[in-house]
Amino acid sequence: MTDSADLALAHRLADQADEIARHHFRAPDLGAEDKGDGSPVTEADREIERALRASIRAEHPGDAFIGEEFGAHGRSSRRWIIDAIDGTASFIAGDPEWSTLIALETHGAVTLGMVSAPALGRRWWATPGTGTWMGPCPSNPSAPPSRLTLTAGGSARDAAIGIWPPPSRLSETERAAAARLAAGTATVLPALNWSTPDHATPPPSKPSTGSGTCHGALLVATGKLDAFLLLGAGPWDIAAVIPIVEEAGGTFSDLSGQRRTDTGAALFARPGLHQQLLSMARAAN
């Protein structure tokens, strides 16, 4: 289990990341470039990851660390999983829906998740058994956090689901699963033909765009969507939001039904819908 000291450290790490990100956000020169996989990266991404790794090492020198930009460091039963800026494209564009994702994995299970979105002024966090909370960032004693609790869903046929990334960035197998879910539910965001790899013009917006959140899984945790499917993802894209969705009452697995962060797929859902959606997605394989 994660203790209160780990949660306090996660808040301090988030404050540190927020400060660095604010310094770079909407700056004239972000030092943006494309990585080998075509995704963007900025000097802010790198600076935040370096700073958080140094802070964790100073407080817990035996803990392991993995980040999107610089990979894995160390081996331990405790591992911090960091995405310095999730939504770098939005960060570069000057849009507010980006965040830092912070997770702690203990003995292979994620025991702490935090998402800090300073441009939105919001932070979400959860640890097992303590609920999911949303509050301002940085923490403000005069504005106490609110607890998020989900109600059960009904039929998946009536559900609204978000899927990301768009079909042009998915494999044939991933597109088949996405298309099956899109066809079997009432609403899909973005509203695309998920069965073809055609490039949409203009490029589609993320499901979270304009929602006041910054990650599709948060749309589930806050009750704005019934489900969210993320494909082609790394552990840093998934880990932090697992306890946030689950402690609100929702569910998580990859497309094989396992609670893993290393298979590239993550399905988050309102309670009562997960198995129905998983069956739809599997039927496409």
Q: Which residue has the tokens 């496409």?
A: 284
Fold type of domain 4-148: Fructose-1,6-Bisphosphatase; Chain A, domain 1 (3.30.540)
pLDDT score, position 200: 67
Q: In 3-state terms, what secondary structure has residue 161?
A: strand
Q: What span, in angstroms and rounded, lies between the C-alpha atoms of 166 and 174?
A: 10
Instruction: Give the start-to-end residue ranges of the domains of the chain.
Output: 4-148, 156-283
Rg of the chain taking only CA atoms, in angstroms: 18
pLDDT tens string, the chain, 285 residues long: the values are 457 899 999 999 999 999 999 999 998 887 788 877 778 899 999 999 999 999 999 999 999 999 989 989 999 999 999 999 999 999 999 999 999 999 999 999 999 999 999 999 999 999 999 999 999 987 677 788 999 999 988 899 999 999 999 999 999 999 999 999 999 999 999 999 999 887 766 888 999 988 889 999 999 999 999 999 999 999 999 999 999 999 999 999 999 999 999 999 999 999 999 999 999 998 744
- Amino acid making up residue 111: T
Angstrom CA distances, 205 to 89, 90, 175, 234, stand at: 11, 10, 17, 20
Is 198 one of the annotated binding-site residues? no
Quick count: other Cβ atoms within 10 Å of Cβ 109? 12
pLDDT score, position 104: 98
pLDDT score, position 143: 82
Q: What span, in angstroms and rounded, lies between the C-alpha atoms of 207 and 182?
A: 13
Question: What stretch of H or E contains 267?
Answer: strand 265-269
Tokens of 125: 């966090």
b/e for 259-276, b at 16 or more Cβ within 10 A?
Answer: ebbeebbbbbbbebbbeb
pLDDT score, position 2: 55
Question: pLDDT digits over 19-54, tens only?
Answer: 999 999 998 887 788 877 778 899 999 999 999 999
Q: Which residue has the tokens 């020169």?
A: 29
Q: What are phi and psi of 43, to 5 degrees?
A: -65, -30
Is 48 one of the annotated binding-site residues? no
Task: Classify 156-283 by CATH class.
Answer: alpha beta
Q: Half-sphere exposure (CA, 13 Å, Cβ side) for 152? A: 4
Is 86 one of the annotated binding-site residues? yes
Terminal-to-terminal C-alpha distance of the chain: 36
